[in-house]
Amino acid sequence: MSTTKSEVRPGAYYDSVVLMQLQRKLAALPGVEDAGVVMATPANLELLADSNLLEAAGKAARPEDLLIVVRAASETEASTALSQVDELLKQRSSGGGNQSYRPRSLDAGVRNLPAAEWVLISVPGRYAAKVAHEALDHGKHVFLYSDNVELSDEIALKQRAAELGLLVMGPDCGTAIINGVGLGFANRVRRGPVGLVGASGTGLQALTVGIHNYGGGVSQAIGTGGRDLKAEVGAASMLQGLRYLAADESTKVIVLVSKPPDEQTSARLLTVAQSAGKPVVVAFIGFAAPAEQIGNVHFATGLDSAARIAVALSEDAISPTAVEPRTGYLRGLFAGGTLAYEALNGLQNFLHPLYSNVAIRNSQKLADPLHSQAHTIIDLGEDVFTVGRLHPMMDNDLRLRRLKQESEGPEIGLILLDIVLGEGAHADPASELAPAIEAHCKARPDLEFVALVVGTDDDPQHTSEQIAKLEAAGARIFRETSQAVDYVAARLAVAPSSAAKPLQPFGEPLAAINVGVESFYDSLQAQGAHAVQVDWRPPAGGNESLASILEKMKGK
C-alpha cells in the first residue's frame, strides 16, 4: 500500500525548471513511485490531481506556495524522500561541470580570441592545408605541425603567406619558440639575444638547449618544416625568418640550422645572411663549409659548435662593416691555381650561377675556358692556356689580353686578380698590370678592380711598392683570399628580390588558437600564453561528397 506525503513551503518561489529537476531527483530515490514539485497554481494542482498526487495539504496551498508531493511504497520512504529536498536543491546549485565553450571552427576560435596572432594546426594532413589557408584568411601566422601535406599546397601556402607578411612554419614543423613560448615540442630555455631559424625540429631543440647550457639565451626559434629548403619551396620560410630576425632588435646573433640545401637555395640563403647586418651562424649539418667565417657568416661544423659560436658572438657581437652592394658579373683571372680554387669555394656560396675551368661542382663547368659566362673564375695557369707559353706568374701577356677582353663586356662589374710575388715570379708585375688597370678604369669608370697580393716585405719585387702601384691604378688590395672573398661576395651577391612584405611582428604576450592535438593547447596554457582550443572535426563528418559540395560553394 503506497503512501502519499506532501510538504507546503509558503512563499517559496522557484523557477519551474528547477522544480522539474528536483522532481526528477525525488522520483529516482529508493521506494519513490512518483513525485510532483510545483508552485501551487490552480493549473498545477489540477495536474497533480490527475496524477493522484493531490491531497488535503496540497489543496490548501496558495499559488505562491511551493508544493512538494511524494508517493512512495512506504511512509518511511516518503518521509526520507521529503527530508532530502533541501539537499537535492543544494546539489543542483553546486553541480555540473562548468566547462567553458570549446569552439568547433577556426572562425569561432578567432572570434573567441581575436588577439591571437598564431594558429597551431595538427589536424590530419589531408585537411591541414585548408585549415592553414583559413588561418591566413584571418591574418594569422601558422604553426603547421601536420605532416602528409602536398608539396604543391606547401608552396601555395608559403607564397600567400609571404604576400600577406605572415609566416607558415611547416608543414611537419614540430618546434618553435616565439617570445619565450614553446610551440609544439620545445625546451624551456632562457630568453636572450640568439635568434634561430631551423628546418629541423630536433636540431632546433638541441641548439636552443645548447645555447641555454652555454649561458646564452634565445630571442626566437622559428621552425620551417623539413621541406622548406627544397629547391621547389626555395627556403621561403627560412628567408622570411632570417629577414625577421635581421630586423628584430632583440636578436643580436642569428643561427640557421638545416641539412645542406641545394646550391641555388643555399646561395640565396647565405646571400641574405650576409646582408643581415649581424653575425649569422650557419649550421647546415654535412655542408662543406668554405671557411670558418666569410664576412659576418660563420660556418659551424655541428650543432654544438653552432651553439658555442652563437653564444660567444652574442656576448661580444661585432657588427660587420657594411659593404655597399653593386651590380655586374665577376671575372676572376687567377695565376695561382689553388687561390682560384679557394676563391671559387668561398664565392660559390653567394654567387649563383658561378662558372670556372676549375669547377668544384659539375654545374659550374665553363663550356669554353676562353669565354666567360655569368660569374666566372678562371685559373689561367691551366694547361689549356700555357701550351707553348710561359706561366702567367712569369708572363703577364695572357692576363693582359684576357683583362682587355673582359673589361669590354658591359655586363662585367668586378675583376679579381691575384698577384703572386716571390722568387721565380715576374720581376715587377705591377709595372704591366697597373697601367692596364688604369686604362680600363678610365674607359669604364663603373668597373671595379680587386687585387689579391701574395708576397712578403722581403720578396724581391718589394710587395709594398707593388701594392702602391696597383692602388694608384685604382685597384682595391687584399692580402688574404678569404678577405677578398668576403669583399667580393658582399659587393656582388644580389639578395633575391622578394615581393614579400615584412613579417607582422610577434606580439606579446603570445596568443594562439590551437586546432587539433590538445596537448599543445595544454602546453600553451601552462606557459602562460592566451590560448583557445578548437575541437576540430573533419568537414561534413568526413562525408566526402558533401565536403566536395561545400568546397565548391566556398568560392561562390
In the complex, the smallest distance separating the C-beta of residue 143 from other proteins, rounded to whole angstroms, is: 23
C-alpha cell belonging to residue 334: 687567377
Q: With respect to other proteins, which residue has the nearer C-beta, 110 or 330? A: 110
How do beta strands 511-515 and 118-121 pair? Answer: parallel
**Whether the Cβ atoms of residue 176 and residue 167 lie closer than 8 Å to each other:** no
Q: With respect to other proteins, which residue has the nearer C-beta, 384 or 546? A: 546
In the complex, the smallest distance separating the C-beta of residue 547 from other proteins, rounded to whole angstroms, is: 8
Q: With respect to other proteins, which residue has the nearer C-beta, 50 or 458? A: 50
Give the bridge partners for 453, in sequence order.
419
In the complex, the smallest distance separating the C-beta of residue 101 from other proteins, rounded to whole angstroms, is: 4
- Beta strand extents in 316-393 (DSSP E only): 329-334, 354-356, 375-379
Q: With respect to other proteins, which residue has the nearer C-beta, 326 or 537? A: 537
Q: With respect to other proteins, which residue has the nearer C-beta, 165 or 539? A: 539
In the complex, the smallest distance separating the C-beta of residue 34 from other proteins, rounded to whole angstroms, is: 5
Q: With respect to other proteins, which residue has the nearer C-beta, 41 or 504? A: 41
Distance CA(410)–CA(447), nearest Å, equals 9
Distance CA(399)–CA(48), nearest Å, equals 116
Residue 549 vs residues 177, 251, 338, 543, 556: alpha-carbon distances, Å: 39, 48, 65, 10, 11
Q: Of 315, 314, 311, 277, which Cα lies nearest the Cα of 297?
A: 277
Q: With respect to other proteins, which residue has the nearer C-beta, 40 or 233? A: 40
In the complex, the smallest distance separating the C-beta of residue 116 from other proteins, rounded to whole angstroms, is: 17
The H or E element spanning position 193 is strand 191-198
In the complex, the smallest distance separating the C-beta of residue 53 from other proteins, rounded to whole angstroms, is: 6
Q: With respect to other proteins, which residue has the nearer C-beta, 83 or 548? A: 548
Residues that bind other proteins (CB under 8 A): 15, 17-18, 20-21, 23-24, 34-38, 41, 43, 46-48, 51, 53, 69, 92, 95-101, 103-105, 107-108, 111-112, 537, 539-541, 543, 546-547, 549-550, 552-553, 556
In the complex, the smallest distance separating the C-beta of residue 490 from other proteins, rounded to whole angstroms, is: 51
End-to-end CA distance of the chain: 70
Which positions ≥6 away from 512 have C-beta within 8 Å?
Answer: 116, 117, 118, 119, 120, 143, 183, 524, 529, 530, 531, 532
**Whether the Cβ atoms of residue 79 and residue 472 lie closer than 8 Å to each other:** no
In the complex, the smallest distance separating the C-beta of residue 67 from other proteins, rounded to whole angstroms, is: 10
Query: Would you say the C-alpha torsion 5, 10, 12, 14 has a positive or negative sign?
Result: positive
